[in-house]
Amino acid sequence: MNITLPQHRSLRTTLALTGVALLLGACAAPQSPSTAAAPAQPAGGHGQSAFLGSYDGNRDGVVPRAEYDAIRKQRFEAGDTNRDGVLNEAEYVAEFEQRLKQQYFSEGRQPDKAYEGSIKQAHVRFAILDRDRDSKLSREEDLAVADKTFKSADTNGDGVVSRNDPPAEPRASGGNAAP
Ligand SMILES: [Ca+2]
Ligand SMILES: [Ca+2]
Ligand SMILES: [Ca+2]
């Protein structure tokens, strides 16, 4: 909750890198043919490949808005284990960890440093998502971020995230990003 902005940034970068690393790891594992049918990667992060890795549930390389919204809703509902309509930090992180565990299991990996880092990042993400800082992630808060996330991945603005979307300019290079 006491997260400062600079810390934010570096963690976000780490997050993105971890996402890419996990995806690369997944791609470079031809010894497990079952990965083709594996659920979407839990790795968070930014950028198109992280996005596709996380939300392309049927692995066809394309994430239409409806697929994205459905997965997001499904994760929210799966995470709300006490059924009070919101996710607290423990619920949010537990839902993420469940998917992360599944990924490690399907890749035959043991929890490692990256695993711990991903869990830490999930805590950070919760703080970002919980915009009004009441320690509860409401569906509205999730939707607000979901909308932004989708639009920033859909760089050509056709309502579908795919490899046809040109990568966005790294934020660091342009001081005055559009609002
Ligand atoms: Ca709950
Ligand atoms: Ca909240
Ligand atoms: Ca697009």
Domain ranges within the chain, ordered by starting residue: 5-28+44-153
d(CA 107, CA 101): 10
Residue 87 has pLDDT above 60, yes or no: yes
Q: Which residue has the higher pLDDT, 22 or 84?
A: 84
Whether 115 has a pLDDT exceeding 90, the answer reads: yes
Q: Which ligand is nearest to the CA of 85?
A: 1
CA of 89 to the centre of ligand 1 (A): 9
Residue 31 is predicted with a pLDDT of 39
Selection from 22, 77, 78 nearest residue 51 by Cα? 22
Cβ(161)–Cβ(51) below 8 Å: yes
Contact, 106 vs 22, CB < 8 A?
Answer: no
Q: What is the pLDDT of residues 21-57, one digit of tens each?
A: 444 444 443 333 333 334 445 555 556 778 888 898 7
Mean pLDDT of 114-135: 96
Question: Residue 122: pLDDT above 90?
Answer: yes
pLDDT of residue 26: 43
CA of 134 to the centre of ligand 2 (A): 5
Residue 129 pLDDT greater than 90, yes or no: yes
Q: What distance in angstroms lies between residue 65's CA and the mean position of ligand 3's atoms?
A: 10
Q: Which ligand is nearest to the CA of 130?
A: 2
Distance separating alpha carbons of residues 129 and 105, to the nearest angstrom: 28
Residues, CB-to-ion distance under 5 Å, ligand 2: 130, 132, 134, 136
Query: What CATH homologous superfamily does 5-28+44-153 map to?
Result: EF-hand (1.10.238.10)
Which one is predicted more confidently, 47 or 109?
109
Percent of the chain with pLDDT over 70: 68
**Spatial CA neighbour of 67 closest among 154, 164, 166, 167:** 154
pLDDT of 2 reads: 52
The number of the ligand nearest the C-alpha atom of 86 reads 1
Mean pLDDT value across the chain: 79
Cα–Cα nearest to 149, from 60, 10, 54: 54
> What Rg, from alpha-carbon coordinates, does the chain have?
16
Cα 153 to averaged position of ligand 3 atoms, centre (Å): 7
